Amino acid sequence: MIDTLYFLALLSSAMAWGRLGLLSEGSVRNGTGGGSGDRCTCDAFLPSSTFPIKDLVVVEQTAVEISHKLELEMGKLEDYEIKLTAYEEIIEIIELIELSVQIEQMEKNPDAYNDADKVEIKIEIKQAEALIKELHLSIKGSTTVFESLRIQITVMVQTLTRLELTYDKNLVLVTRREYIKVQLQLEECERRHQELFNPNIGSCAHTGIIKVSKPVVSQLNANLNAGYKYGGWGKDSKPVPDRESMYWYSGYSSASIVDIRLYTNYKNLLLRNHFQHHNLHSSWYGTGNNFIFRDNTLYYQINNPFGLAKLNFTTGKYESKVIPRASSRFSYTNSPNQNFDFAADESGLWVTYANEESAGRMVIAKINELSFGVEEEWQTSVYKPGVSNAFMVCGVLYAVKTVDIKTEEIFYKYDTKTKQESSVSVPFERFQDKYSNLDFNPTDQKLYMYNDGYYVNYNLWFNYTAKATVEPPVLLS
């Protein structure tokens, strides 16, 4: 009797997960065994792979922990806003340059100032120093927390993806919702952090990129297919009204462009809940993976004829353009058919390619968005087959190469304004082995990478030359 109750409990538990397989009518049987009297004997054939509930519990616990940490950080950010306001007021009062002059005058003519004047100036300096130090420590602390949370979320992404690909999706739906909630909280926290301490989005008052963040991994593609290694994702670089928060994705198992999905916001991207799914007409199919979405228009490469294409989803109009000198022989190292690479930055739309005349060296072309014609071209000295990808920021081309199995490096830049090129070294980390799309978006100053089927993005740091940033001045000792 005890064995029967145990089996019924096991049966009930297994059936709840939908993972118990009864091989035949004889798989569960009642009978008597030798010397067992009226004892009931039952055999159950359970599947070789049971649902790893422990993994799911770990993910759920991690989600709760990260959520609590983010709530604390959001509270800190609200405190930072108050402190920054106080900081600005102090700066307005002190005007440190004038203060320096005033102190110099004191040294030259000490009799003109009394002790009260000197004490007042010292107090103002000490107040500013104390506030600046506190802000620096706060910012540094938040940055450390964000990096830690990113690592935890990356582990959650991998676990959830593995569970979704292996087991019934309904079993992990609740946990995925918790993960999405945490991911959105982190996104909002980072956005506010960026607004407070990097208010330069859209500004080109800098001398270039000086740092790239750790990879921020969103999830596996909307097709839930790790074989969809070719594709791209991101935001519209020039969004139409009411679509500022829209995301897009297009992926395939080969270097082809056959469809595109649009999502109203980041949350729906994570939920894989698109509001539009456009299947391209077969005569409009594209190739390569360096396409972008700009002004509700897809810009991409075609092979028949070999050239450029644009498909406007507002008007439904399709256009193509041939660049006679462009060659189909030179592609990036990561995937085939990446002959034309579209890019968008603060100054407009660009495309890069290589030709026979330049012996495979990259050419930068500025595209007129209305006429879809080339306005101007610049010849670089960087050999395209030695480049893994490239992008434009403020009219400057940045070329990237692979260093090792985990590391990429921005190693070259060409400024179209000055026609100057130079070597740089800004390494950054990949999430997976290979990637097929890397593009900068000027609306949030992020790099978007499609990395072996995963959505990945990076924050960028620039060497700003103007005082647009909230940057503490050097105080007198």
- The two structure tokens encoding residue 133: 């130090």
337 contacts 374 by C-beta, under 8 angstroms? no
pLDDT of residue 465: 78
pLDDT of residue 372: 96
pLDDT of residue 200: 77
pLDDT of residue 167: 54
205-464 CATH, one of 2.120.10, 2.60.40, 1.10.260, 1.20.120: 2.120.10
Rounded distance between C-alpha atoms, residue 10 and residue 12, angstroms? 5
Residue 60's alpha-carbon distances to 18, 166, 182, 272, 354, in angstroms, are: 21, 18, 11, 20, 49
- The two structure tokens encoding residue 280: 């391209």
Length of the chain: 477
DSSP code string of 227-271: T--EEEEEE-SSPPTT-TT-EEEEEESSSEE-EEEEESSHHHHHT
Strands laid side by side in the 374-383 sheet: 341-345, 348-354, 361-367, 374-383
How many other C-beta atoms lie within 10 A of the C-beta of residue 453?
23
Helix, strand and coil percent figures for the chain, each rounded to 5: 35, 30, 35
380 contacts 414 by C-beta, under 8 angstroms? yes
pLDDT of residue 269: 93
pTM, two decimals, is: 0.64
Q: Can the peptide bond before residue 336 be classed as cis, meaning omega within 30 degrees of 0?
A: no
Per-10-residue mean pLDDT for the chain, 477 residues long? Answer: 39 37 36 41 42 60 63 62 57 55 66 65 65 61 63 65 58 57 63 56 91 90 92 96 95 94 93 94 92 97 95 96 94 90 97 95 97 96 96 98 94 97 96 92 95 94 67 36
DSSP code string of 359-415: TTEEEEEEEPTTT--EEEEEEEEEEGGG-SEEEEETTEEEEEEE-SSSEEEEEEEEE
Residue 360's alpha-carbon distances to 125, 198, 261, 332, 388, in angstroms, are: 58, 38, 34, 11, 14
- The two structure tokens encoding residue 16: 């709840």
